[in-house]
Amino acid sequence: METNDIKTLKELHKLSGRSFKTLRSNHHKKGLYSVDLVVEGYLDLLFTVANLIKVSILALDSDETCSSQVPDPPTNIKNMLEIALQLLPYEEAEFLDKSKELLLKENQDSIPEN
């Protein structure tokens, strides 16, 4: 019986390696996972975040009662807004600010003085 259990466990291990692709262990915090969001670029990402926020605003303005699919709208809206915050590319925005600053400085340095 033990041999069958080991064989089954090995098969499950192989299967899990091929099947579990959506969640990846977070290297910074134990017990948390990361999920990929496929976008065409930063502009697409920003439009996606904006759309999440717009849908949340519409949901907050709605006079509809709760449905069986969305029994707790405020919690769902809060979760969507938290996701939107996580999707904002802060590091990239910092890079853009510094790049702009360097380009402006370079332009000022290259302008000949009269």
pLDDT tens digits for range 53-84: 998 888 888 766 667 777 888 888 899 999 99
Q: What is the pTM of this model?
A: 0.65
Say how far apart CA 10 and CA 14 lie, in whole Å. Answer: 6
Spell out the domain ranges in the chain: 39-89
104-111: long-range contacts, CB 8 A cutoff, minimum separation 24: none
Of 5-14, 49-58, 85-94, least confident by mean pLDDT is 5-14
Rounded mean pLDDT, 27-35: 90
> Residue 29 corresponds to which tokens in the numbers above?
């915090």
Q: What is the mean pLDDT of residues 35-59?
A: 91
Res 111: pLDDT? 74
